[in-house]
Structure 1
């Protein structure tokens, strides 16, 4: 569950980096627990209210940061940086799909968080310079989604799978609604100058800042490390049991 920073070095916000870094840390905890579940060290359902809420918090942090970061780059004249960022997101999403297809073809990721962030980044860009309007649209999407069935589209997957062969299960999937609403609320955080909030300068904050600045590579690599670690421990325990 990542987001690439699209704020130039001169305009970096330590608070936004910590905000994003918090999402990265929670994501690592979430995936570590999933690995423990997968290898039998924990027993829980990912559909339990706690884990559903935990995932929602992570997504809310990451996706609101997408819109927030878009607002902060409005004054940037370096359009090449935009394209470079978009290219990184696109090829990273393709890499995730390809890697999971080769490793677990029956559950490969065809539209996960990274794919959604790429699309959402393009969608929020035209509205980022109107943060209040963007937030109103985003809030409306959230209200409609949670108070009616208009944006649920329960048969969307069945319809799409008639034309495209997709696995019935996937390691990660993110439906556009209601999450596009969270992205559209993001520019309002920039408009309210949340990125200027002071933060203390100590060791833990510096770690969180680092994680926020390098969210994409951490996202791409952390599960390789965690899965290997848990699998190795399981193998050792099985061997000596």
Structure 2
């Protein structure tokens, strides 16, 4: 069975693409189940432990891939002496986050997304970029943030959300929100995966790996469009179920 992996600096890492593609697939499953719940086909609470940990797994994959990708970008810049194109990537993230905010504001003004996953990725990418070129130090800082968050209350701000919405005209509920801690620590650990050479892990050629790699390469378009498609499909099925069955 053939294997797909990075053979030269010109090629992408198939393993990183699949890694990110798994996150995209899990995200689509999560949102599809949410849609089924909204239309009455499933019944569950999003705060149940299973769904809480399911969402955390998605965030863990996405955010560690952010730091990992940033390290590979710096590595490619160093080895090939090509200028980094951070501004292009930052511009896409900023525009995409703005689109999410605008669309959800008009679609659901009482729950619109003003600091979701894309907003966090945009800010975290800029804040963590100076540390990316030192992966061991970056990972140490990231592990420290997570450890402090887990073992103390120093990075917990339980009243922050209500305090912000008290002084800024934002809704008390939002469809998606990502707090900085401990997730910025996960981004900082990401470069260590690149330093350890995970991008060179070989993968068998199969329909599944090719599909996941494709989803990983185009994670941003999938993120922007998947829920519109899934929600519409479930809505149409609901209408057909009510009117034809």
Q: TM-score, normalised by structure 1?
A: 0.94
Residue in structure 2 matching 1:133, options 125, 128, 137: 137
Residue in structure 2 matching 1:115, options 108, 112, 119: 119
Shift, 1:155, TM fit: 1.1
Shift, 1:63, TM fit: 0.1
Corresponding residue for 1:4?
none
- CA–CA distance in structure 1, aligned partners of residues 84 and 197 of structure 2: 26
Shift, 1:160, TM fit: 1.5
What's the RMSD between the two structures over aligned residues? 1.4
Corresponding residue for 1:189?
193
My pick for the range that moved more, 219-228 or 158-167, is: 158-167
**Is 1:52 the equivalent of 2:52?**
yes
Corresponding residue for 1:6?
none
- CA–CA distance in structure 2, aligned partners of residues 139 and 121 of structure 1: 17
Q: Flag structure 1 segments of 5+ consecutive residues without an equivalent.
A: 1-8
- CA–CA distance in structure 2, aligned partners of residues 78 and 98 of structure 1: 35
**Is 1:233 the equivalent of 2:202?**
no
- CA–CA distance in structure 1, aligned partners of residues 11 and 122 of structure 2: 22
Paired residues of 1:111 and 1:173 also in contact (CA < 8 A): yes
Paired residues of 2:142 and 2:186 also in contact (CA < 8 A): yes
1:11-64 deviations in Å (ceiling 9; x for gaps): 410000000000000000000000000000000011111000100000000000
Corresponding residue for 2:177?
173
Mapping of residues 211-226 of structure 1, within 5 Å? 211-226=215-230
My pick for the range that moved more, 12-21 or 147-156, is: 147-156
